[in-house]
Structure 1
């Protein structure tokens, strides 16, 4: 499918880069869906497939890399700052609405995993958004990390973060951690065998520019981030939440609890499988179709 390489300005003047997929079978300005990826991931990791599904349904699609990752600018490289990423979602919306192909009154946002949390916050405060899909979302930074770090490891982790803060303060380079690891007992942002297998396979097949590292400070910033606390403010913007029943990377219990706090109009799709099953095979077909139908219903009707 035809797509255009794009760039626009994000927070702090950083250049963000991505792709624009024009809607098919349209005669004038069409709705747009803005998409971004999760923790440490880059746009080549199946976001192009989602964008194509939306474009074929008559929806423009805009995909980009978060700052500090992939093709986008920004330093320190590989640093996850959830507040900057959330604000850049809004910058991406602004850029999209300046394009002649886009009907600025019909904006949808789609986020998965870590960005599944971002879109909850964006939809709660940015009423340019008329429909939102949050897929296998990270609901609570502190909640996720408390499950990933064993209680007896916490003092060591805190000491390492304090050391990294002092190192930066005195002009040193950021301490780096693996994003994933084959050893679930080793220190990493996502110490799960499932995460390691998915990132290793997907980066080898589709995304050679992905790097298996994030800054240690990223973990500290994650603990400050609680996007689920905003979910009750999304209404009346229609929400679709897609939750995997066996998700342990972004724990499904947290997503189900958050969904109960959301107000109508809302809809939930509970799928079988783990966190990464939404990106390929039958899981992709089910999740992409549900998201497509949600956006078509609320943006094209």
Structure 2
């Protein structure tokens, strides 16, 4: 989210922004490193921290998320009425579909998941990781997102994290993949309670139609002022200067 935070959208006068690394990522503590299972609960902790600050207005707490974190934003807001507004950028809608798109070899991926689960159950071996992007030596079709676009984006992220004193590796903890697979934010959208909702989606995703269906599901939890915006390009362009970041801002 560095581009959005640094370009004035959320740092304008009168807006206090809390930017943090999820547990197990970057400069935050926690194990397994780059395991995503604690991220959603940590959103509620972040809201509690904001509300502990003297200058925070409890009636104007908003949350912004990109990709998997956008799904966390929706899920958290559907449970936590302290959250009054949500900005969702290129959200994951269904984790099962995401993994199906990203990991073409389901049989091999499942074998990795259950082998890792059994190894941890019996107390032997280190935490297993699935490469996020393919590199030399990565087995064919075994990477969380084996595309050049993903490799370019995460290599830049790795450089930024290391420069800031954090850490980043090319891998997601395998034990997190089952939780990702069962993720589905549509039910959360149905009971969403924030007063304001902004969904930003890249046009590559719009063609699949899931984001619009999720947006249409909102409102059962109460009256919502919603807006659905599309931008040109692919998944990461909304955070890339000169591609889509300017429209997001």
How would you bin the TM-score normalised by the shorter chain?
Answer: 0.7 to 0.9
Counterpart for residue 108 of structure 1: 62
Corresponding residue to 2:111 among 143, 147, 159: 159
| Displacement after TM superposition at 1:227 (Å) | 2.1
Report the TM-score when normalising by structure 1.
0.73
Conserved? CA contact 2:103–2:143, under 8 Å: no
Pair 1:269-2:221 in alignment: no
Q: Give the secondary-structure state (helix, strand or coil) at the position aligned to 2:17.
A: strand
- CA distance in 2 between counterparts of 1:235 and 1:97 reads 18
Report the TM-score when normalising by structure 2.
0.87
Q: Which 4+ runs in 1 deviate beyond 6 A?
A: none
Conserved? CA contact 1:245–1:252, under 8 Å: no
| Displacement after TM superposition at 1:222 (Å) | 0.7
| Displacement after TM superposition at 1:232 (Å) | 1.3
Corresponding residue to 1:62 among 18, 27, 42: 18
- CA distance in 1 between counterparts of 2:247 and 2:208 reads 18
Pair 1:216-2:174 in alignment: yes
Most deviating of 178-187 and 225-234: 178-187
| C-alpha distance after superposition, 1:19-55 (max 9, x if no partner) | xxxxxxxxxxxxxxxxxx6xxxxxxx536426x4312
How big is the alpha-carbon RMSD for the aligned residues of Structure 1 and Structure 2? 2.1
Structure 2 runs not aligned, ≥5 long? none
Corresponding residue to 2:238 among 258, 278, 286: 278
Structure 1 runs not aligned, ≥5 long? 1-36, 38-44, 289-301
More strand by share: 1
Cα distance change on mapping 1:169 and 1:179 into 2, 3 Å: same
| C-alpha distance after superposition, 1:77-129 (max 9, x if no partner) | 12121xx2111101100001111121122101101110110111111111111
Cα distance change on mapping 1:236 and 1:108 into 2, 3 Å: closer
- CA distance in 1 between counterparts of 2:117 and 2:139 reads 25
Corresponding residue to 1:189 among 144, 151, 165: 144
